[in-house]
Structures are given as C-alpha cells and as structure tokens.
Amino acid sequence: MPTYDNLIGGQWVTGKSNISNINPSDLSDVIGEYAQGDASDVNAAVAAAMAAFPAWSHSGIQARHDALDKIANEILARKEELGDLLAREEGKTRPEGIGEVARAGQIFKFFAGECLRLAGETLPSVRPGIAVEITREPIGVVGLITPWNFPIAIPAWKIAPALAFGNCVVLKPADLVPGSAWALADIIHRSGIPAGVFNLVMGRGSVIGSALVQHADVAAISFTGSVGVGRGIAEACVKGGKKVQLEMGGKNPQVVLDDADLKQAVELSVQSCFYSTGQRCTASSRLIVTDKIYPAFVEALQARMAKITVGDARAAGTDIGPVVSQAQLQQDLGYVEIAKHEGAVLAAGGARVACHTGSGKQGFFMQPALFVDSTPAMRINREEVFGPVASVIRVRDYDEALATANDTPFGLSAGIATTSLQHATHFKCHAQAGMVMVNLPTAGVDYHVPFGGRKGSSYGPREQGRHAQDFYTSVKTAYTLA
C-alpha cells in the first residue's frame, strides 16, 4: 500500500501515524495511506515558511510567474489522471473531477499573470514638495485550511494568490480527501519554488488546524468549511490579531417564477440541487416556486429526477456519485426523516441505494430526495444539509418569493428563473447574496471574478480574481520629500 508524507521545508516527512483514504464508490478500494501530523509538524512547517519568507517576498515577479505557470502546465497536462484520482477519493463523477482539476490549473495560470500585474498608486500630497506612494506587500506566513468537497480547486484558489503575492504557505487539507491535495503539493514541490515557501501538513483539523490558528508566527488564516468551525477560527484569529478569511455555509434559494421557461428551470434546478451529490456550498436546496407554475414544475422535476443515474463516480453514464462518507450519508438520511416528521411530503428519492452500475460494490449511495409542501420554518429549509436533498416552497408571487429567498441566516448564492427583465433586474439588486444567477444554476462560478457571500456565509475579503489581493497583501503608504 503506497504511503504519502507531509511536505515540510522542502522535505517529505513521515507522519506520526497514517490514515487510509477510502473510495466512497467502493469501500474495499484503499487509495493510499496518508500521513497524520501533529503540532510539532505545524511548528516545523511554520518555522520553514518564516525562514523562506524574506527571500520569497522580495523575489522577482518573473520568477514567481514562471513557477506558478509551471505548476499550471503540469496540472493541465495531467487533468485526466488527477480528475480520476479526485473522483476516486471524493465521489464526484469523473467528468466533474476532470473539470475541477482543469479549473485548478486555470487558477494557477491566472495568478501567474497577476505576478506581472502588481500595481500601486502614486498620488500628490496635500503638502507641496511631498510624493505619496501606495503599494501592496505580502503579509507573511498564511495558514490555509481547506474542505473535502473541492479537494484540488479550493486549495488551488488559496495557494496560487498566496504565492503570487509573495507569501509563504502552510496547507492543511481535509482529512477525508488528502490525495488530491498531496498530488498538488508534489507538483508545487517540483516546480522550482524554494524550500519552505510551500508546506503541506495533513492531519486532524482539531490538531493541525488548531495549531495553525494558534501559532504566533502565522499572520493570516483562510478557511473554507463549516459554520461552527469557522466561527471558532474567527474568534481565535481576532484574539491573536491575525487576518482571517472565512467561507462557510449556504442555504441557497432558487426562485422559479410563473413566466420561467419550464424546461430550463427544471434543468438548472437539477444541476443546482443534486449534481456533485449536492455537496457544494453554492448548491440550491430551497426551490421557491410561484403558484401558477408550481404543479407543472413539480411534475416535470420528478420526471427529470427519474432519469438520474446514481453510481460509481468513475463509471461511464453516472450522473451522480456517492456521498463522501458514512457520516455524511447518515446526516443526509437524518434530514430526510426530520423533513418527514415536520410534515413535508417526500415526492421523490430519499433512500440509500445500491450502486446502479450493477457492479455490486458497496458505497455511500443515495437517491436524490425531493420534498414538496414544505414551509420556510422547517429545519429542511433553515439548516444546511450538504447533500442531494431539496425542498419546494410554494409562494404567491415575486414579492413573496424574494422575501422567502432572503429569509435565511446565509447569503452565498441565489438564483432566479424568469423571462422578465424587470424581475431579473430587481432580484439582482435585492437578493441578499454575494453571488446571483439569472437563468443559471446557483452552483457554477468563474475563477477570475470574486467568490463569496454575505451574512453567515462569508467573513473577510473575497476569494478569487483580482480581489484576492485584498486578503493576501497589506497596503503600505510611503511619503518622500521631493
């Protein structure tokens, strides 16, 4: 069985123990044994990053560009291989996995370019004979804590800007899916980036993540994950004077108005709610549908769901792979029972199933669940399930749809299906979300524009695109007597 170590100071370091990386489509398939570090590994990684920071932060922009571009080229050249690994360990379908790897490569390409586009300002002072320069500088050692649902894209969209702007990195990937992060770390290690600039420490979040957050020499933490953990990290970072960036939960609404194109509305709802097994923070789990289209929409959605194939993530013809783990499957099925108990009507799916490919392999498979006759106050419409579970809420008109859409403690993504320019324009302005989709799935974003939400979904500067510099740099103002 292959074993995979942590990367600290340019060296592969054996863990204190190992954990098995299991294929959720085939529980007999062990991908490898991955190192489990401890606080001493975090201390060593931070020390290596601190030692590398002075030279890296003042390195030439061409050198940083070349390193990131080289990383991007290898990722893209290996996208099918790495996409297969991603599907094998996380449960996305193979096409989705390949697409995610390609996105990781594109992100590194984009930030390779940003190395060459670093800009500042020169302004006149209000005092004669004085020049003012405004520049951005790297912040230091950055701790990155990433989730299991996008095991290569999210590490990429944190690592690439951190390195592009001259910071050094300690990455702690999700314990459930270390394989993709390790493969990315290996590519970065061989890119020519100096030892200590990038470090990988795998292990439990309660051990590695906590040690990163508490470490005095870590200047900033970027975290994507659960609300509870994120809030704890925010409190610790504020106490420690660290910069913090959080991407947490979502309870994203998909509004369908009477004037919507029915076929388009059904397809984008299926994509939003169920693809990637619903395991996306931008997935929609609340379908808010107006009166006149409601019966036809529910009927058409049930018919479309009947055509979904659940099966081995790497098998041809699979639409939706397994849930990532036994614990996540139990959570999803638990919410199905909660919704039934609260009075929602199960209109489709909602049960654990065998692999539909006929292979007989044991995995964490679940038929996507659809509830109707639900109300906004039900837990199924208040809490993030993070699985292939969606509910339909019936409303009178656009005004009630908008109010219902905004009736949530979250605010990441919101969608509307309509042919009305008036309603689309109003929704874009008044939906309380960081990202709004018109006649598109709520899940699915570009890598060169800002990503993030409002309310309980996000905290701190935006991720991705040029706005990433707001987190990964510090602004300096310099005055010079002419």
Mean pLDDT, residues 97-101 taken together: 98
Rounded (10°) CA dihedral 335, 339, 341, 342: 130
pLDDT tens digits, one per residue of 180-195: 999 999 999 999 999 9
Check whether 53 has a pLDDT greater than 80: yes
pLDDT tens digits, one per residue of 384-406: 999 999 999 999 999 999 999 99
Band (pLDDT 50/70/90 cuts) for residue 358 is low
Mean pLDDT, residues 45-60 taken together: 97
Check whether 420 has a pLDDT greater than 60: yes
Mean pLDDT, residues 143-155 taken together: 98
In the chain, the percentage of residues whose pLDDT exceeds 90 is 96
Band (pLDDT 50/70/90 cuts) for residue 354 is confident
Q: Residue 86's beta-bridge partner residues? A: none
Residue 125: its pLDDT value, please? 96
Active site residue 247: yes
Residue 150: its pLDDT value, please? 97
Band (pLDDT 50/70/90 cuts) for residue 262 is very high
- Angle, helix 94-115 to helix 153-164, in steps of 10 degrees: 10
Query: Which residue in the block uniquely carries the two structure tokens 């795998």?
Result: 202
Q: Which of 168, 237, 273, 281 is catalytic?
A: 281
Check whether 359 has a pLDDT greater than 70: no
Residue 1: its pLDDT value, please? 80
Check whether 356 has a pLDDT greater than 80: no
**124 burial type by CB count under 10 A (0-12 exposed, 13-18 middle, 19+ buried):** exposed
pLDDT tens digits, one per residue of 291-320: 999 999 999 999 999 999 999 999 999 999
Residue 482: its pLDDT value, please? 82
User: What does DSSP say about strands 243-247 and 218-224: parallel, antiparallel, or unpaired?
Assistant: parallel
Residue 327: its pLDDT value, please? 96
In the chain, the percentage of residues whose pLDDT exceeds 70 is 99
- Residue 435 near residue 282 (C-beta atoms within 8 A): yes
Longest dimension (CA), the chain: 80
Band (pLDDT 50/70/90 cuts) for residue 47 is very high
Mean pLDDT, residues 422-434 taken together: 98
54 C-beta neighbours (distance < 10 Å), count: 10
Residue 361: its pLDDT value, please? 82
67 C-beta neighbours (distance < 10 Å), count: 24
Q: Which of 33, 74, 89, 247 is catalytic?
A: 247
Check whether 95 has a pLDDT greater than 70: yes
Rounded (10°) CA dihedral 179, 184, 186, 190: 170
CB half-sphere exposure, 288, CA atoms < 13 A: 28
Residue 87: its pLDDT value, please? 98
Check whether 357 has a pLDDT greater than 80: no
Active site residue 273: no
Intra-chain end-to-end CA distance of the chain, in Å:
67
Edge-to-edge strands of the sheet including 413-417?
345-348, 369-374, 389-395, 284-290, 252-256, 413-417, 435-438
Residue 355: its pLDDT value, please? 65
- In this structure, what token pair is assigned to residue 272? 């939003």
The rounded mean pLDDT for the chain is: 96
Residue 245: its pLDDT value, please? 98
Check whether 131 has a pLDDT greater than 60: yes
